[in-house]
Amino acid sequence: MPLSAKISSLQRQIQRLRIVLVLLLLLAATVTACYTSLFSFGDSLTDTGNLYFISPRQSPDCLLPPYGQTHFHRPNGRCSDGRLILDFLAESLGLPYVKPYLGFKNGAVKRGNIEQGVNFAVAGATALDRGFFEEKGFAVDVTANFSLGVQLDWFKELLPSLCNSSSSCKKVIGSSLFIVGEIGGNDYGYPLSETTAFGDLVTYIPQVISVITSAIRELIDLGAVTFMVPGSLPLGCNPAYLTIFATIDKEEYDQAGCLKWLNTFYEYHNELLQIEINRLRVLYPLTNIIYADYFNAALEFYNSPEQFGRSILLAFCVISTFLGCNLQVTEKFSHIHVPSISSTNWIGITNISEYNGTKF
């Protein structure tokens, strides 16, 4: 996902859906035999309920109907109409859906199968710590308190519940699959929502990538071996951004109607992320770090939706009340409601469950 309390959510994949598909199916084929747990970090693309445990009952929107209607038949803490990519991955690995850490922590979720995985992702979370944004004068949501570093600290706090010695922890962690991301979208979303100069925004990318790779290093030092690290999505195709950055200049759009400059920005993020992942592979040859190409997978979906039996509704918010579109100042991207489930996005930045499961 990607912007404020919920602009952390868009999702997913597809000529590279084929790459991601092959990677994940290969992964699934081996994981069922090799991996006993699934631990995940990120934002709304991955959050299975942590936001629920830190939010008032009537806020934010993804804790209210119509979220969750297609699979769980009720809101369940996921910023989607149904399952997330993480859910489909867990299913393919023969593991239970990954429960939210904060649910375990406050006793609302039973600790029965905690050894099979825990989710630390929080919708709206950033890679960079909250102080980074406050220092630059950006208004950020409460979810910025739960950065990737905070999520990593949660994992360390949980370790004594999973193992009781250095050797046993190495064994547990070494047999687990770690999903690190997608994260970073909100780091750019907060500045974008305040129309930060594009040139300034580009300078944040190396800092975001550094935090992500540092987290992977820490997990490796703890004994982690296998990672899936998703890149960012093509948010230049997202209805919320298309509305906010709408222009009459046709040259600003590609053949699918996406904003070229914004997609170029996220491509740069992904390029730097892959460069750093390759460096980690050299430094840690015994690890298996899989890059999940969300960008090109999703872009294929936007370019040829009919191949997947869908239609695309890229932009539909002309004024704040049109088609139920309620763009608020503090939650600009929160209430953009796609009127038909035949489209890709669920609400503003979140993809529909069917889209999330396409690659499986």
In whole angstroms, give the CA distance from residue 229 to residue 292: 6
- What confidence score (pLDDT) does residue 72 get? 83
Q: Which two tokens stand for residue 339?
A: 């009127």
- What confidence score (pLDDT) does residue 29 get? 45
Query: 290 lies in a domain?
Result: yes
CATH number assigned to the domain comprising residue 231: 3.40.50
Quick one: the chain helix, strand, coil %, rounded to 5? 45, 10, 45
Query: 344 lies in a domain?
Result: no
Query: 347 lies in a domain?
Result: no
Query: 342 lies in a domain?
Result: no
Q: Would you say 190 and 138 are in contact if contact means Cβ atoms under 8 Å apart?
A: yes
Query: 340 lies in a domain?
Result: no
| Stretches in the chain below the pLDDT threshold 50 | 1-19, 21-22, 25-26, 28-33, 315-343, 346-350, 359-360
- What confidence score (pLDDT) does residue 233 get? 93
- What confidence score (pLDDT) does residue 354 get? 54
Domain that holds residue 145: 16-235+248-304
pTM: 0.82
| Angle 93-346-232 from CA coordinates, rounded to 5° | 60
- What confidence score (pLDDT) does residue 243 get? 85
- What confidence score (pLDDT) does residue 254 get? 94
DSSP 306: G
Q: What domain count does the chain have?
A: 1
Query: 336 lies in a domain?
Result: no
DSSP string, 233-251: --GGG-HHHHHHT--S-GG
Query: 44 lies in a domain?
Result: yes
In whole angstroms, give the CA distance from residue 54 to residue 239: 27
In whole angstroms, give the CA distance from residue 349 to residue 336: 8
Of residues 357, 351, 353, 329, the one with CA closest to residue 8: 351
Task: Specify the pairing of strand 176-180 against strand 37-41.
Answer: parallel
Query: 144 lies in a domain?
Result: yes
Q: Would you say 128 and 149 are in contact if contact means Cβ atoms under 8 Å apart?
A: no
- What confidence score (pLDDT) does residue 109 get? 79
Tokens 């300034």, residue? 200
